[in-house]
Amino acid sequence: MRILFHTAGIDREAWIDALQRALPEAHIESWTAGSVCRADYALLWKPPLALVEHVRGVRAIFNLGAGVDSIPDFAALPRTVALVRLDDAGMAEQMVEYVIHALLRHYREFDTYAEQQHNGLWQPRPRRLKSDFVVGILGAGVLGAAVASAIATLHFPVRTWSRTSRAIAAATSFTGISELETFLSATRVLVCLLPLTRETEGLLDRERLSRLPRGAYLINVARGALVADADLLELLDAGHLSGATLDVFRDEPLPREHRFWHHPRVALTPHVSAVTLVEESVQQIVEKIRRLEAGLPITGVVDRERGY
């Protein structure tokens, strides 16, 4: 068995070491520009287009991250090549931690208390009602479902929105573009966990963000290109949105001149809400490769039309 491996910006040696331990019978080869490599499977993260064109003969491409938008022109791959995403691999727990922290930081007004501390003020704030803090989860896949379930245990009202119907216990579900406005209209804290596709790019523009109630809060842990930056900044400046926690951005690293860096209503982190865990991911990938070798079906195969 031959495996072609390529990453951009993640720990190459740790991945190769874990793969060699889990698949000792495999020959693992790294790709370099202009090289010729015949492989059965490709494990890729942010590959150049030349590499994607090079691996059209493999049985499957495994994407080493949560979103397959990192694979350029994947829709043009032959139908005989399965494009496979990670199902979870330790990301759901991390995402739950991050979102709950951002939610509670906003709900309990910790930023206000930090400012009071800086100014030497002792001013307890009246407690807010949880029943008024409807949390809306955009995207009800593996990660969205985990976040929705965890938030519900804290007794916040939870609603989810997805392209196709997804029933999640303790959450009110909304489906399709026709129900998006209704979903947004009562959402006090909006958590974005949608995949980035042709249909979702720029989905959260001025029109849709304005549908949120005045004082609403945005948490984006999916992809930066889902949000129109200028529109978000306009609504923050106008006070329609009370703030935003952003972990993902259209351009990463975030350019130093971007207003998000110093905006008083923006908290940002450098795309760390849920990092890919090597050992867990390798275990999942190896299990799927063994199933494919045995002629068995696997989960996580991407629908080329939907983009996830």
CA distance 153 to 221: 20
Rounded to whole angstroms, the Cα distance separating 270 from 223 reads 12
Q: What is the DSSP letter of 179?
A: G
Q: Which of 128, 223, 250, 291 is catalytic?
A: 223
Question: Is residue 101 flagged as an active site residue?
Answer: no
Nearest residue to 140 (alpha-carbon basis) of 91, 101, 174: 174
Question: For residue 274, what are the CA distances in angstroms to 89, 142, 221, 222, 249?
Answer: 10, 13, 8, 10, 15
Structure tokens at 225: 């290109």
**Closest to 265 in 3D by CA, of 243, 237, 238, 234:** 243
Q: Are strands 135-138 and 41-44 parallel, antiparallel or unpaired?
A: unpaired
H runs (alpha helix) in 6-141: 12-22, 49-54, 91-107, 110-118
Choose the catalytic residue: 262, 271, 291, 306: 271
271 in catalytic set: yes
Contact at 8 Å (CB) between 272 and 5? no
Burial class (CB in 10 A: 0-12, 13-18, 19+), 280: middle
Active site residues: 223, 271
